[in-house]
């Protein structure tokens, strides 16, 4: 990197902003927001979760999560049931409709990712992934070996 090159943090921020903007443009066709997509993805990955654990997993505060879940519930994409282990908590699960929408959104995300890296070689993609993983781990204060084992 040359001193005149943009700082890496700036580039990462700009790429993240562009990804978010493009994904939201495409997802809007399915009446889906990025936070809603993240909830669907987390529920697909982990299965049923309490609202509190789900909020932590997608880095949202409990009030924001409640609103997201209300909207997803009204659309029939999630189901909230009483937690048998804790009467104060609710377990959130995807409905079949939610699973179907997630598959559509995942395909859109994959297509967006592929277009974003168009023209990059396999070696460049590996170097990019390795570099971003290291940056993430450095910023989170966790060594790469620890992070990969989690």
- Over residues 67-103, the pLDDT tens digits come to 999 999 999 999 999 888 887 888 999 999 999 999 9
pLDDT truncated to tens, each residue of the chain (150 aa)?
Answer: 565 567 888 999 999 999 889 988 888 888 888 889 889 999 999 888 888 899 999 989 989 999 999 999 999 999 999 888 887 888 999 999 999 999 988 888 888 899 999 999 999 999 999 999 999 899 888 654 554 554
Domain membership of residue 130 (yes or no) is yes
| pLDDT number for residue 88 | 82
Domain membership of residue 1 (yes or no) is no
Domain membership of residue 144 (yes or no) is yes
Which backbone phi and psi does 94 adopt, to 5 degrees?
Answer: -75, 145
The structural domain count of the chain equals 1
Short-list 136, 138, 115, 101, CA closest to 18? 115
Which backbone phi and psi does 89 adopt, to 5 degrees?
Answer: -105, 155
Distance CA 98, CA 73 (A): 10
Domain membership of residue 56 (yes or no) is no
Which residues, in sequence order, are bridge partners of residue 94?
Answer: 78
Tokens of 90: 């609710």
Domain membership of residue 148 (yes or no) is yes
| pLDDT number for residue 3 | 56
Domain membership of residue 5 (yes or no) is no
Place of tokens 């209300």: 70
Domain membership of residue 126 (yes or no) is yes
Distance CA 150, CA 145 (A): 9
Range of the domain at 149: 114-150
pTM above 0.85, yes or no: no
Which residues, in sequence order, are bridge partners of residue 49?
Answer: 92
Domain membership of residue 96 (yes or no) is no
């Amino acid at each position: 990197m040359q001193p005149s090159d943009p700082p890496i943090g700036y580039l990462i921020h700009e790429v993240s902003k562009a990804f978010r903007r493009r994904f939201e443009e495409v997802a809007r066709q399915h009446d889906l927001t990025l936070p809603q997509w993240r909830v669907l993805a987390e529920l697909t990955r982990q299965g049923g979760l309490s609202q509190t654990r789900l909020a932590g997993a997608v880095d949202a505060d409990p009030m924001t999560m409640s609103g997201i879940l209300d909207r997803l519930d009204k659309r029939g994409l999630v189901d909230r049931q009483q937690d048998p282990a804790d009467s104060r908590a609710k377990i959130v699960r995807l409905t079949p409709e939610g699973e179907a929408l997630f598959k559509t959104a995942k395909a859109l995300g994959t297509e967006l990712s592929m277009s974003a890296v168009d023209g990059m070689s396999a070696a460049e993609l590996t170097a990019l992934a390795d570099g971003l993983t290291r940056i993430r781990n450095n910023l989170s204060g966790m060594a790469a070996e620890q992070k990969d084992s989690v």
